[in-house]
Each structure stands twice: as C-alpha cells, then as structure tokens.
Structure 1
Amino acid sequence: MIKNEKNPRPLFVYSAIAMAMMGGVSVNAVAQDEGVEKVERIEVTGSRIKRADVEGASPVTSIGRVAIESSGVQNIGELLQTVAQADLSGLTQLTNNTNGNDGSQTISLRNLGDNRTLVLVDGRRFLALGGGQVDISQIPIAIVERVDILTDGASAVYGSDAISGVVNIITKNGFEGVSLDVTVGANLEGDGEHKQAGISIGTIKDKTSLFLNISKSEEKEISAGDRDISQYPVAHIPAERGSAFGLFGIFNTSDGFVSLNPDREGPGLRTAADFEPFGTKHRYNFAPTNYLKTPSDRFNVFAKVNHEFSDELRGFIDFTYNQRKSVTQIAAVPLTAGFAGPQWEIPFSKDSIYNPFGEDLSSFGFRTLPIGPRTSIQDYDTYFITGGFEGEFEFADRSFIWDVSMSRGDSSRNEHGENFVNLQNLRNAVGPSFIEGGIAQCGTPDNVIAGCVPLNIFNGETGFTEEMARYIGYEFNEQVRTGATNFAANISGDLFELPAGWLAFAAGVERRVNTFSDSPDSLVAAGLSSNNFREPTSGKQTAEEAYFEFVVPVLADLPGVERLEVSVAGRFSDFENSGLVGTQSVDSDFDNESFKVGFTWRVYEDLMLRGNYADTFRAPSINNLFAGGGEGFPSVQDPCNTTQFGLQSAATQARCMADNVPSGGSIQPTGQLRELNGGNVNLQPEEGNTVTFGFVYNPSWLEGFDISVDYYKIELEEALSTLDAGDMLTRCYVQNDENFCGFVERREDGRVETVRTSQFNLAQLEVEGYDFNANYRFDTHDFGSFAMRLTGSYTDKYRFAGEDERISDVDNQVAAIDSDILRWRGTFNTTWTYNDLSVTWGMRYTSDITESCSIPEDFVERGIATRELCNQRGRTSEDNPNGLNHVGSVTYHDLSASYALPWQASVRVGMRNIFRKDPPVALNPFANSFYSVHDIPGGTWFMNYKQDF
C-alpha cells in the first residue's frame, strides 16, 4: 500500500501545493492564520527564504505529476516543449545540422539561449555541460514530482546563468510502497517506437526514509527519408539543392568542372570522353540517410535517503546515475579535396592508373557511399551525489532554519565514429600508382607504399571497391569530460517584528568548481580526418559567492492594502579561471555584484500585484573561455580576393598587399573559407537587468478560478556575440582595426588559409513581452469534475544587435535559424474526471513566422521545384529579392484517458497530434524543411500501465 509521510503543514498550504503538483497550476495560494501552533516553512522557487506561505514577488508556473502523466511524454525535454516561454533551441531530437546531434536536451527560455537558463534539481545546481547548460535528459521523468518554471531574472538569488529564468525540477519525496510503471508507444507512421519501464520503491522506518527508482527507456530512430517533408534537402526540390559531391564525382580539369556521364558508368576504365560538364543531374540527395529523430537508450538509478537524528537535525543523501547511448547518422563522407581546409589540399595525381585526364587534379569530390553513412555512437555516463545536513535552532526566542550540503558530479562522453576517412591514406590512394602482377599498387615501382590500395572514383560507385573502402575508411574515438564540486551553506529565519509582521531573511555562501576537458581523436586533432578538425582543450572555473535576501512587511490590514511586502536580495561573486588556449596555459578572473528588489501587494483577499527589478549576469563558461578551435566552412568573401579587390578603397588594397596579397587580389577557389571557432580568455560577464510586473486574481465569487498576467522586459549589455570570418576580415582590412588582423592566417600566395573566430562582449539583447496563466476547476453533482488550464506567452519585442546596429521588433521575422522566435505560444488543457475515469484534451499553439525566401521564382517553371515554396513573392527588398515565405501557425491536439483499476493499478492511453497535422514547410532550417518548434510528422500514440503494491 502506498501512503504519504505525515505532513504537519496546515490544510490550506497543503491543498495549494497539492493542487499545483496534481493539476499543474500556478502556485498563487494565500496563507492565513488557522490557529496552528507550528507551521512548516517551505522554500518556493524564486526565493531562498523558507516561509509558511507559497506566494512571492516572482512569477512561477508549476507542472504537476498528474499533468506530466496525462501528457504521455517520455522525457523531461518533451515535457518542457509545452512550456510557453521555451523557445526549443535545445529541446529537440531533430537532426537538423550537418553533424547531427548527440541526444542531449537543454532548455532555453525567451530565445536567450540554453546557457542563460539556470536548471536546478530540488533547488540545487546540477552537473552542467562545458557551456554551462544542463542536459536534462540525464534526469528520468519517473522521479519528477513537479517542475517549477521561474520566468524572472534571478541572478541575485541563484547566481550566474539565471538571466531568462530558472527551471527547478522537484523530485519525489515521502513515497512508501512499490510501484511498477511501463509505457509503450510509437509514431502513427509505424516508426519511432519508444518503451519505458521503471520500478519505484519507498520505505519509511522509524526516522529514516528511502526512495529508489530504477528505470530503462528506449527510443527508436525516425529517418528523414521516411517523411515527405524531409526526404530532400529542401522540400519539393528533388535535385537542385542536393550536394555537388555525389556518386558521379566532380573534377576540376583544364576544361572546367566535369562529372561522369551517368550513362557511362560500368565495368572498365574510363576516358576523358566519358565525362561531361557538371550539372544538376550529378548532384546527390544526402537527406534520406540522415536521422530525423535520434535514437537513444537510457538507464537511470535515483536514490534518496533522509534520516532524522532529532527534531532539530536531519541528514540527506541524493544520488543520480544515468547511462545514455545515442546514435547519430548522416550521409556518407563527401571527399572535398581542394574545396575545404588545408588538410584537404590533396591533388589527384596524373600518374594514378585510374586518372583519365592526364593531368593533376587540384580539386575533386566524391560521395563515399561504399564506405557507408557516417555514424557516431555516444556513450554517456553521469553520476551526481549530494549529501548534507539541515535543521533548525532557537536563538533569542526566534527560530532559524539552516542547511549545509556538498555535491560531486562527473560526466564522460565517449564517442565512437564509424565510416569516416583517413586523409593520410586518401593522399596515398590518389597519388601515383602502377600495376604489377595484375595487382594495383600505390607509389612507384621504386617506392611502393605497403598496404595501400589505389582509389578509383572515376567510374561512379561501380569502381569504388570494398578493398578501397577499407583502406581509406577509419573509425575514431574521442572523449569529453565534465565535473562539478559544489558546496553550499544557507540560513533563514525571522529577525525582528515590525508593525506589519516579521522581517524575514536568508543568507548563505556557495563555492563551485567546474572542470571540462575535450580530447578529440588523434587523427582529428592532427588534421588527418574527414571529421572536422578540432583542438584538444581543458579548463577549470571556480566560483565563490555570498548572498543575502530580506522580505520586509511594510503595511498590513489597511483599506486597499491587506498586505504589502518588499523583498531585497544581493549576491557577490568572484570567479577564477584557468585552462589551455592552444598549448598555452592561461589564467583569468572577474567578479560581479547583483541585486534585486521586488514587492507583493495584496490589495484585498482576491487580488495581488507583484513586481521585480533585478540585476542579472552570466559568467562566461569554460567553453566560452577555453574551447579549442573547431573547424567550419562558412560562405564568406575575402575582401582581398580577385572579385572584391577592385571594389575596395586604396587604403584597404594597401593593407591587403601588406599581407602578401598580389596586386589585383588573391585567388579564392570557392565561396567558403576555413574558420576555426574557439574560446576567448579575455571575456567578461554578461550583465543586464530584468523588470517584471503583474497581477494574480483569485475571485472569491468564482470558486476554483485564478488568473495571472505578467509583463517582462530583459535587457542585456556586453552580451557574448560571435564574430564570424567575414566580420574578422572586414574589421582588419576594411575598418583598419589591427586588433583583429592577428586572427587571419594567409598563405605565401596571399590566399586565406584560416580565420580564427571567437566570441566577444559586443552585443546587446532586449526581450519584452507578456505571460499569462488561467485555471478553472469545478465539480458537478452528476457529471464529475472539470479542470481547465490556459497558459501563454507573447513576445512583443526581440532585439539583438552588435556594436553598430539594432534589429527591429520581431514583426514575425525569424532573427536566428537556431532559435525560433514566435509571437505567440500557448497551451490549453481540459481534464474531466468521473469516478475512476480521467480524460484530458490538450491543445498546443505556435504562431506563424515569416522568413526570407531563397528560392528563385522560376524554379517551378523550370521543373526544379514541384510546387511554389515562397508564398509572398511580392514582399521584396534588397535583402530579400525573391520575396518572403509565410510559415503558418499550427495547433496540435492531444488526447489521453486513464482509468483506475480495482487492484491498485491504472492504465492510460493517449495520442499526441491526433489529427496528424503536418508541419508547414520552411526554407531556412537546414534539412528537414520544418522548424524544431513543430512535431515530427505523423503523430504518436502511447499506452501506460502502472501497478502499485
């Protein structure tokens, strides 16, 4: 039999909290004197002060256990996708970039990035990744009692990263008994199967309580080729937008770029006559091989032990272990010799037995389909343990509550990559070769390269043998580790009584040490792998902080002022950093002070006003400071190249020539340049402020109804902003800023070799909007009870600007592809409960987007596109010569039903996106052709069985 630990809270407090935990409503209850001698003080998200009431100046929304179960989600990430303030830049398993993803899920609020959203577990910091964000997939959903979302700047209360808000994941407590939980489901298209099973055991004996949960989950992949919208790189364009590196090759000859005539593919050696100018038919559709949804297996162990040594002293230990295996898959390696970085400067020798052109080929490309798709297998192991003591004591006739805790966590990601290319072996295989004894060999008769197999990419897939694939193909192994050691000590209580009540306070100190190391595969670090070059690195960050918080009762029991309180908080932080920049060890440090002031004004019993003004800050993470240079190839025009040189001023031309650029400009073979993006040890904290103001209305004339509306405005100065290769080149040569010239590396002939890029404290961010919540619960005599909930968020302004510019209001424009900026997001849920039956209908709404159009108008006429993709051709401008594309709003409908069985069991069945609404076609996301804010096409079903003992 399952029962709850005895709870001394007064009924009105317990009911408010239970209501939030079960129904997922906002916590807006009112504490009143019920004549109870001892009232348990609790800590509410947004404040460190433990109090008997659950209201505060900061807006907090809670998603309770019943709401979690009725949603049918399989992990915390899916659950938080429904939060109106979440922008989903991290909460997705979509593979929507060229290197896939590793199955991690992070949360970003208000389009400010996952590193500006603080994630807590039971009010304490959890193990973070190197960028400062928390992978919430490490926390099994089976242990979650509720999730609190604080949508307010909270740096003064919680420290760095709490700029856009705080997500506090509250785990189960006071559980006794045994519970088995099994869930199965799949996409309605018949793929994407998921399974989850877990057991929870809780016991309370004397003064010790134990909770243990062990769970296992498995999610299968969904391939991009199995959905119409993602079977091509751009939906409804079968060929034009495919890769130039296909199965018929692309070769830079003296006659221009040529490819094998598809009709000539077959046994035997090819001649130059078998090739034709490169065209659309030679392109390769890489999309179908990619995973649309990343598969993963998770095994979790969570344990919580509490022991009461006395009425004034308790001890606790929490332990989390998570093992996750994820697999990402994208199309086979494209050979890009002569088109990419210096490691790809691999000419195809005229003396190769397969080269039909009789000349060295400085650049060539081919899709290595015979080797197989690039597959990366990530094996994550994470543990996090927290232990400590808490209690209370009396001093000067006052009660004080204290706690001391220590946490240690470690995470390692071991990644194994299959079907990549060893560039040293490729260089051997495309060099001179000869035949001896009927066997093709690399090198010359006087200098044979042992074990080498000459490569034939001139005969299409037919000429690329398994033996060749084995020689140039290779598997890589690399490791990334993060660690955290946290110490915290807190005290809170009442200091003295004022006419309007007791002045309450909280204070404490924290010390956090975070470490990070990245050890790429040896061939990757040496620049001998087809996987993008990356430099190894390591770093350490130590934060020492102290904070205070006061709640001051100002007025009470007056006309129009039932209660007025002012809250004040402050935090003082010192950071010390050490790590590697290249091979050099570098140290840095910075400090910060943050303050917050807020108020709650209960006008009368039904109406409360609240507001805050807060300083916010985010310390640069270890990755921001010390990340090794990672390779990329953005589309950039060197201002000193042959096409741009003549357009520059005489001063700019002189600066180009001073860097070995010949008069008239240097050659730039392609529209892309090699970029190495890494850390910047000179970064300083981001700083800004947040303003919120709102009201909570609980009308006494309508029992069970409450509504809250909050305005917010976030301003961030000195925000981190990446200057890309184009910015670096422009600042150096056009703007004559010598500080940026050191980031550009050129060859002896003046060509750009590499541009190093990084982040700088240059940007400004402004976000402004409104949040609202409404709940209505009522009972009927004959038809059961009903609970309705409406949540929403409206973004009025979103501005991101560098030093010299400002972006205008949102105006339904997407400002960043990786962060979908929407005017409106909202949910509406209705739950009907009748005896043992409960049915929930949910609606999820996302507003429309207008994006730039990259598709020329004649694509349909020329037969390249099968339908018109830009539905607002008339809205042209200098930046959008092809007009715009309107991505429509979407409303998804979800349905679930549960039934309590007489043998202490329950069964729940449901469907998400029951009408199987497809996402609207979008042009800006890479691959897939829809934004991650939308569901994968097809809808899903699920069935859950829970047995209690």
Structure 2
Amino acid sequence: MKLLNSRKHTLALSITAALFASQSHLAIAAEKQSVERIEVTGSHIKRTDMEGPSPLTSLSAEDIANSGVTDLIGLFTKLPMAGQGTFSTQGNSSDNTSNGGSSVSLRGLGADSTLILVNGRRVSVSPFANNIDTAFVDINNIPLAAIKRVDILKDGASATYGSDAVAGVINIVLRDDVEGAEVAVKFGDTADGGGEEKNISIVWGNSTEKSSHTFALDYFEREEILYADRDYSKSANQQALRPNDPFATDFRSSSGFPGTIALASDSTNRMPDTFGNDVCAEQDIVGNLCRYDYAPVMTSVPATERASFIYLGKYEINDHLRGFAELNGQHSKTTIRGAGSPSFNELFMSGDNVNHPFAMMPTHEFYQQDLTMRRRMLDIGNREKRVTSDYYRSIIGLQGEIKDWSWEVAYNYIKSTSTERGVNGFPNSRRTQEAIDSGLWNPFEPSSNSQESLDFIETTTTRIGKSTSKSFDGKISGSVMEMEHGDLGLAVGVEYREESISDNPDDQFLRGEVFGTEATQANGSRDNTSVFAELAIPVLDTLEVQVAVRHEDYSDFGTTTDPKVAFIWQPTESLSLRGSYGTAFRAPSLHQIGLGNTDESPNLVDTVRCAAVGNINKACEPQEYTAVLSGNDDLGPEESTSYNLGLIYEIADNMDFSIDYYDYDIENVITKDTQFKFSTLGNDPSVVERLPSTIAGDPGEVVRIFDQYENIGNITTSGLDIEANYGLETDIGEFKFTYVVNYVLSYEDARPNADGSMRIDTQEGDFEQPEVRWTFNTTWIQGDWNASMAINYIGEFKQDASVATEGMSDIDSWTTVDTTVNYIGIENTTLSIGATNLFNEEPPFAYHDFMGFANSTHNSQGRFLYVKASYKF
C-alpha cells in the first residue's frame, strides 16, 4: 500500500505537543475540500480524507521531534496504548536472545501480535527472536530523520493486512517530498552516568515534472549504562541497598568465586570454598553457599552504534503510469556485558584428583570423595557479546490508473542478518572438565593457574542469524457504481510471500559445551498466498459501512479466513459514532515451530520437592533452573475476535474529545508454562531430570526441565481509549493541550490446570499490567519561539506473584516530565534544547529481580538532557 499526501484537516487542532499530541481525527465534522483521494492506514480503498471507521492516531514528524526521543522505541514506550511485551535494548544481558532489538506491544498482547508496516508494506522479522520465541520487527531499523509520520491503527486488522495484526497496526510512513537538504545534529547525556547519545542526519531530495527523489543518511551512537551507574541497581543484594526494608531480597548468585564445594553423590551436602589460599570472601558467604554480586558489571542499556540509509524515488512514465522504488539499509553494532559465566554442578572433580582440596585432610567428610561445584568463571573475565546486524529492504513497483480505477503492483525483498560473538568470558565445558581431570586447571585455587590453562578453557562463541522475506503484491481499487449517497468503493488484491529464518549457534552450543549463557537454534521457512477484498458502502449521506475479508493459505499449517465489518456515522456536524468487528489471527512464528533444543534460565519454584521435604536448599523459593525448550511442528494459529465502539464529539471549534471502547478475545495462544509443567509433572523423569538424593522421600535436586511451545492459553482484554484536545489563543501566545488515556477495564490471561480447567494466570493490575496510562501535553507558540511539555503517567501494579508477600506494597505509579524549547529566529535554522524525565524520577521499586525495578515497563535512563541544531538549504 502506498500512502499519498493527505489534505490538511480543516479542523484547526494540529496538536504538536511533546509526545502523543495526535493529529485530530475529527475533521469529519468539518467542511470537505475537493482533493485527490488517498489511501489511509486500515483500508485499501482511497478516500478524500484521513477519517475512517477504525480508530487511528497519527504522530507527525514535528510531534516526534518535540518528544525528545532519539529512536522509535523511545517514542513507543510512552504510548498509553503500549503495554506488557514492549521491549527495548534496556535489560539486554549476556543471557538475552534478542540483543540490540526493540519492538512494541499494543494492548499488552505481545510484540508478535502488533503488525509493523513501512509505507503500508510488511517488514521481515529479526533473525534473533526475543525471549527465545517472540518473532518481532526490529523498529531500530528506521531512523527518525526519515519519518514523515507514524499511524497507529488501534483495532484488529487481519482482514486488511493478514497475520499479526491482532492488537493493531503501526504504519511508519517515510518522507518522500523533500526539496533541498536538511542537516541535523543532536547530542545528549544522562544525569547519573552512562547513556551519552550522538546523532547526525542528512536528508535531501528534489522533484521534477517527471520524478522525485528523497535520500536520508543517519548515524546514531549510544554509550552503555551499567547497573552500577544507578544507586538502586548497583548491587544484586537489595537487602544491603535497602536495609530497612523487610521484604528486600539478596539476589546474589549461588555460583560464587572461587565457589561452593559439594559431593557429587549428594549436591545438597555442600560448603563454601574456605580451604587453601583462595577462599570465598567472608561477606559473600551466606549459609552453606559462596555467593557472587553480578549486578555491577552488567549492562542495563548496551552500547549501540547504527548507520542507516534510505532512498525513495518515483518516476512518471506517462500520464497514467508511474514507477517507484524504495531502498533501506542499516548496519548496527551492539555490545553487551555480563558477569563471568556461572556453573551449577556441571563440573566435577574425582576423589583422586591431584588438585583435590581435601587430599591432605583424611578426617574430612569430603576426603577422597568425588566433588561437584557451583563456581563463577571469573578467571577468564566477565562475559562480553558483540552483535553485528545488517538490514536491507528493497521495493520496486508500478502504479497507475485505468479510467477511475487505481492499481499497484510491487516486488519486495528484505534480508536481515545478525552475528553474535561471545568474545570474552565464555568457557568451553568439555575443555574445562578435561583441564580439571588432567590437573592443568585447579578450580579451587584460581591464583595458581597458568595463562596456558585459562587459554585452554576459554572459547569464542558464534551465533549467526538470517531472516528473509520475498513478496509480490498487487491490488486495484475504485468505484463500482454510483449509489444514492455516493460511490460504492471496492478494493481487491493478492499477495504471495516467502519467508525464512535461520538462527544457528556454533557446534559448541549444539554439543552443550557452553554453560552460563543462552542461545537459540531455529530454522524454518514457509510461503503463503492471500487474497483480499474490501467494500466501502455509502448507506446514507451520514453513514459509511466498510466490509473486508481476507483468505490466507500457509504452507505449514493450513488456511484461515478473516472478515471485518466497520462503520462510521455522523448524525450531526459535531458528533460521529464509529465501530468495528472482526476476526484476526497470528500464525505461529518460524521460531516457535522450528526451535531446536534451547537452554533458558527461568526463576521457578520446585513445588514437588517442597511438598516432599520442605524448603531444602530453598526448594520452596524461586530459583534459577535450566529449562530445555523446543519448537512444535503441530502448532496452530492464534485466533481472535475483537470489536471497537467509539464516539467523536466536537464541542467547539477549539475543543473536541473522543472515546473508544475496545474488546479482544484471543484463543489458542501459543505459549509455554514451564512452572505449570514443573509442578504437575515434577516426578516424571522425561520432563524433569533430577540428581539422586540420600534423603528419604527427596525426589532430588533438579538438573534440567524439558518444555515446548503449545496452543494452551486464552487472553481477553477490554478497555477505554480517551483523547481530549483544546486550543487557546492569548496575548502571550497560542496554547494547545491534549490528554490521552488508556484505561484497562479487564485483562485475563488464562492457562490450563492439571485437571483441564483454566486458571487466571495474569489479570489487570497484576505485575507489569497497569490499569491506567496517560499523557498530558502542552505546547506554546509565540513568534520565533515554541515550547512543549509532556507529563507521562504509568499507573501502579502488583508485585510479581512469585515474590509477593502479605504486607508487601504494590509497585508505585510513575510520573515523568519531558520538555523541549525550540527557536526558529535564525533563517533556515532550528535550535532546540530539552530533557526527558526532567526531574530525574527513579523507577518505582520492584522486589522481583536484582535491578530493583520492572525493566520492561519502567526504565533506568533517568534525566536525559539534549541539544539539537538543524539547518535547511
């Protein structure tokens, strides 16, 4: 779909506030102008204005610039309709599987249920899935300098666009109308250390009677932020950071340095390493474990560098035929740091080993006993991963007119490649065990080990990913007939798409020889053919009905057909009502189908062992376990129904508001529930592998848990989107205000019980599910000066259920303020100064993890001050 230039809204409420001062969609009540027809996000039928039956929010380039953000994810994380599942590079660690990537989740339904388009066409997913299975479009691939506007369609749209448009659609419309050149330079830094940013962009273009060309180059660099840079996350021992908080937890790892020694025959019989020259520090000994504080050396936000280019061109072949092309490329680098690799009883030492720590202690109970250990591999340094990604997108097509009908055909090719290299701090477990067995390396006396032994143990890891998408699409739209109240519009089209992904770690991972990190392996391909049709029916002068249907045929799981019906009714000049109903689907991702055995490290509770022998070795408390996850060839698509009802009311020429009610019901959700499987099948050796125990009735300590993806969940959610706009002209300037709020009425994520019934796993107000998000924006314009301010609010929500305890407070609401001031008094020049999180509000405290905050909902950037200068010539 190609979006053409739209007419200006005659309703003079161009809200240019700091963030979500959405362009008003109330022009229905205004006098219509005679202009060319355009194609609007959410419909394939061209119309005379931006208004349609579905709720649509547009953010202009000016809105984005005034927000102060330097990339799209910075913008999207503050959308009131964004929710749990939105993720950025924040929190990327040596254990992440999508390092360097970012994406948005509308309604909290998942990044893989939000369809991302660029100029109305699909974009291939990242070769590295998030959290092992979540296929996502990496929005870091699009620089802000190249964006004309961002359209956000806030209802299901599979009937229009196909798979993934369950929660809605985000369409990024690129600039294609630049005359001359623009250069912009931006520099910013945080108040508390780390996170310095530099950005330079050049955009230029020209138009003739026959052609137009737009080019954009962009360079972006961000310095890393370590958890050590923030007082609330500088230690994994939150008890030490919050000594007066009875609920604060010591999250230091049980894999310490030089570590904890245990009997191989019974790993519950253990003691910290306090023998010989190298011993566990006294402050790190907790009970019978040597613990380690990993937080200070981990990245909260990784270092990132991106260089991008974009080209858009059109050429008029004749009066009724045009050619067009789009090219987009990016090269990016991300560096992620983590603490030295931990081992949890993977390594062993025989009782007769030359380096046995108790060889000279015949009275010790561990004398001549085979040993295992929990040990942090600090000898070879802290972990460092470097991810290099290259992204290419090319489109070539033709468009034209046949009488009153418009048509378009295009070929789209996208390739995304990523290489992740572990360059420091990664041990090869096979060689490490060989070094122990031969006496080359002594795990209990690290200071005695030679550089030769360390070089033998350490390895370099490699993971290579590739994602491709090839597609052909064609469509035609126009008027079928003249009806009493207007033209009956029709659009029909076809799309054929081939997709493939490969995500392959090196042979060491495949042989299970690298511990202390996660890596996925997934390979798959598919093709699908879709046909679609849409009608715009003028039932009355004041009532339009939209009917759409799409049929998809996938090579790997079958077919699906999804309809949508929507309407917009204007009973008076100032009042409009709109609504939509439709079905949608999400095809299982190629990662979810083709995932090979992949290790992850979830925090789980061993309820089976807890019930059998009590809290031995914290069996009744959440701990890190190794889970082996695999794909599932038998997965089917997620299926959903949704509807939306809305009201738009223009109170006066300078005041309007809208309210929309939405409701989603999603079935056969593709997910995993490792805790459920762990609890219900904890005694099944094919599901949970355990070590033997000498304690009567003890099922034994867990080695690993086996799990796979299944269609086992149901999600329902409903809520309200409210927007109010007001303009005010005074002697001291023009003011514009907008208030946008999302209120979640209900959210239920249901999972199966052992007896087949369903339980509510997550609901509104639970962890990372705030019921309210809003932004209030103000802009002021006076002469050569303008300024904007945004107040962003995220409501409170409960602590993570795994740690919630009676008397523990909820996670507080969070309010931040962004502001910017612009001066345009110098010819062709704009100077800006601004801040995000102006008052440096810390994220509210959360008890669930070592960093002390919910890093997928809040962030650790703190106050970010920036200056920017742009020049046009």
Alignment of 1:9-28 (within 5 A): 24-28=22-26
Which one has a bigger Cα radius of gyration? 1
Q: How far apart are the structure 1 equivalents of 2:202 and 2:745? A: 45
Deviation, 1:282, is 3.3
Distance 1:32 1:890, change over 3 A: closer
Partner-residue secondary structure (3-state), 2:846: coil
Deviation, 1:206, is 3.0
Q: Which residue of 2 aligns with 1:49?
A: 45
Kept in 1: contact 2:85–2:109 (CA 8 A): no
Q: Which residue of 1 aligns with 2:498?
A: 513
Q: Which residue of 2 aligns with 1:79?
A: 75
Q: Which residue of 2 aligns with 1:690?
A: 642
Partner-residue secondary structure (3-state), 1:885: coil
Kept in 1: contact 2:787–2:820 (CA 8 A): yes
Q: How far apart are the structure 1 equivalents of 2:801 and 2:158? A: 40
Q: Which residue of 2 aligns with 1:825?
A: 773
Kept in 2: contact 1:242–1:286 (CA 8 A): yes
Q: Once the two structures are superposed, what CA deviation does each residue of 1:141-196 show, in whole Å capped at 9, x if it has no partner?
A: 11011111111011101101001110111111211101111000010124210000
Distance 1:811 1:12, change over 3 A: closer
Deviation, 1:746, is 8.2
Q: Which residue of 1 aligns with 2:114?
A: 117
Deviation, 1:674, is 4.1
The one-letter amino acid paired with 1:107 is V
Partner-residue secondary structure (3-state), 1:430: helix
Q: How far apart are the structure 2 equivalents of 1:13 and 1:222? A: 46
Deviation, 1:24, is 3.4
Partner-residue secondary structure (3-state), 1:884: coil
Kept in 2: contact 1:182–1:944 (CA 8 A): yes
Unmatched tracts of structure 2, length 5 or more:
128-133, 242-248, 360-366, 694-698
Q: Which residue of 1 aligns with 2:270?
A: 257
Distance 1:141 1:925, change over 3 A: farther
Q: How far apart are the structure 1 equivalents of 2:384 and 2:847? A: 26
The one-letter amino acid paired with 2:776 is F
Kept in 2: contact 1:331–1:374 (CA 8 A): yes
Deviation, 1:482, is 0.4
Deviation, 1:631, is 0.9
Q: Output the aligned Cα RMSD.
A: 3.2
Q: How far apart are the structure 1 equivalents of 2:821 and 2:675? A: 54
Kept in 2: contact 1:258–1:276 (CA 8 A): no
Deviation, 1:646, is 9.6
Q: Which residue of 1 aligns with 2:364?
A: none
Q: Once the two structures are superposed, what CA deviation does each residue of 1:825-860 show, in whole Å capped at 9, x if it has no partner?
A: 1111111011111111110001111215777xxxxx
Q: Which residue of 2 aligns with 1:301?
A: 309
Distance 1:331 1:217, change over 3 A: same
The one-letter amino acid paired with 1:123 is G
Kept in 1: contact 2:253–2:293 (CA 8 A): yes
Q: Which residue of 1 aligns with 2:358?
A: 356
Partner-residue secondary structure (3-state), 1:212: strand
Partner-residue secondary structure (3-state), 1:851: coil
Q: Which residue of 2 aligns with 1:948?
A: 872
Kept in 1: contact 2:11–2:30 (CA 8 A): no
State yes or no: 1:469 paired with 2:454. yes
> Which structure would you say has the larger RCO, counting Cα contacts within 8 Å and 6 or more residues apart?
2
Deviation, 1:671, is 7.1
Deviation, 1:197, is 0.5
Q: Which residue of 1 aligns with 2:375?
A: 366
Alignment of 1:525-544 (within 5 A): 525-532=510-517, 536-544=521-529
Q: Once the two structures are superposed, what CA deviation does each residue of 1:814-835 show, in whole Å capped at 9, x if it has no partner?
A: 2xxxxx2111111111110111
Q: Which residue of 2 aligns with 1:456?
A: 442
Kept in 2: contact 1:574–1:591 (CA 8 A): yes
Alignment of 1:152-191 (within 5 A): 152-191=155-194
Partner-residue secondary structure (3-state), 2:792: strand
What TM-score, normalized to structure 1? 0.82
Kept in 1: contact 2:830–2:871 (CA 8 A): yes
Greater shift in the superposed pair: 823-832 or 348-357 = 348-357
Q: Match for 1:384 among 393, 398, 401?
A: 393
State yes or no: 1:903 paired with 2:800. no
Distance 1:251 1:18, change over 3 A: closer
Kept in 2: contact 1:697–1:707 (CA 8 A): yes
Alignment of 1:359-508 (within 5 A): 359-394=368-403, 399-418=404-423, 419-433=425-439, 454-459=440-445, 462-508=447-493
The one-letter amino acid paired with 1:487 is F
Distance 1:348 1:147, change over 3 A: farther
Q: How far apart are the structure 1 equivalents of 2:9 and 2:805? A: 62
State yes or no: 1:137 paired with 2:140. yes
Q: Which residue of 2 aligns with 1:555?
A: 540
Q: How far apart are the structure 2 equivalents of 1:323 and 1:125? A: 20
Q: Match for 2:588 among 607, 617, 620?
A: 620
The one-letter amino acid paired with 1:420 is F
Q: How far apart are the structure 1 equivalents of 2:60 and 2:137? A: 21
Kept in 2: contact 1:316–1:387 (CA 8 A): yes
Q: Once the two structures are superposed, what CA deviation does each residue of 1:870-920 show, in whole Å capped at 9, x if it has no partner?
A: xxxxxxxxxx55443321111101111010142311110001111111111
Kept in 1: contact 2:92–2:299 (CA 8 A): no
Q: How far apart are the structure 2 equivalents of 1:930 and 1:464? A: 40
Percent identity of paired positions between Structure 1 and Structure 2: 28
Q: How far apart are the structure 2 equivalents of 1:320 and 1:519? A: 26
Partner-residue secondary structure (3-state), 1:70: helix
Q: Once the two structures are superposed, what CA deviation does each residue of 1:95-141 show, in whole Å capped at 9, x if it has no partner?
A: 26661451100110111110000000111111213544200001111
The one-letter amino acid paired with 1:521 is D
Deviation, 1:369, is 1.8
Distance 1:534 1:842, change over 3 A: closer
The one-letter amino acid paired with 1:204 is S
Q: Once the two structures are superposed, what CA deviation does each residue of 1:746-788 show, in whole Å capped at 9, x if it has no partner?
A: 89999876543112112111011000112223433x3222221
Q: Which residue of 2 aligns with 1:569?
A: 548
Q: How far apart are the structure 2 equivalents of 1:532 and 1:931? A: 20
Deviation, 1:296, is 0.4
Q: How far apart are the structure 1 equivalents of 2:420 and 2:704? A: 27
Kept in 1: contact 2:846–2:853 (CA 8 A): yes
Q: Once the two structures are superposed, what CA deviation does each residue of 1:448-475 show, in whole Å capped at 9, x if it has no partner?
A: xxxxxx222324x534554432221111
Kept in 2: contact 1:854–1:882 (CA 8 A): no
Q: How far apart are the structure 2 equivalents of 1:306 and 1:265? A: 73
Partner-residue secondary structure (3-state), 2:238: coil
Partner-residue secondary structure (3-state), 2:832: strand
Deviation, 1:307, is 0.8
Q: How far apart are the structure 1 equivalents of 2:60 and 2:537? A: 31
Q: Which residue of 2 aligns with 1:802?
A: 751
Q: Once the two structures are superposed, what CA deviation does each residue of 1:607-643 show, in whole Å capped at 9, x if it has no partner?
A: 10000111111111111111112113446677887x7
Q: How far apart are the structure 2 equivalents of 1:330 and 1:913? A: 27
Kept in 1: contact 2:397–2:410 (CA 8 A): yes
Deviation, 1:675, is 2.4
Kept in 2: contact 1:628–1:678 (CA 8 A): yes
The one-letter amino acid paired with 2:430 is Q
Distance 1:636 1:348, change over 3 A: farther
Distance 1:69 1:745, change over 3 A: same
Deviation, 1:807, is 1.9
Kept in 2: contact 1:261–1:276 (CA 8 A): no
Unmatched tracts of structure 1, length 5 or more:
1-6, 339-343, 434-453, 557-562, 578-588, 648-666, 735-740, 815-819, 856-879
Number of residue pairs matched by the alignment:
828
Alignment of 1:895-934 (within 5 A): 895-925=819-849, 927-934=851-858
Q: Which residue of 2 aligns with 1:770?
A: 720
Q: Which residue of 2 aligns with 1:713?
A: 663
Distance 1:885 1:469, change over 3 A: farther
Q: How far apart are the structure 1 equivalents of 2:644 and 2:119? A: 25
Q: How far apart are the structure 2 equivalents of 1:277 and 1:93? A: 33
Distance 1:9 1:429, change over 3 A: closer
Deviation, 1:233, is 2.1
Q: Which residue of 2 aligns with 1:873?
A: none
Q: Once the two structures are superposed, what CA deviation does each residue of 1:715-757 show, in whole Å capped at 9, x if it has no partner?
A: 01111121426516725979xxxxxx96667899998765431
Kept in 1: contact 2:195–2:861 (CA 8 A): no
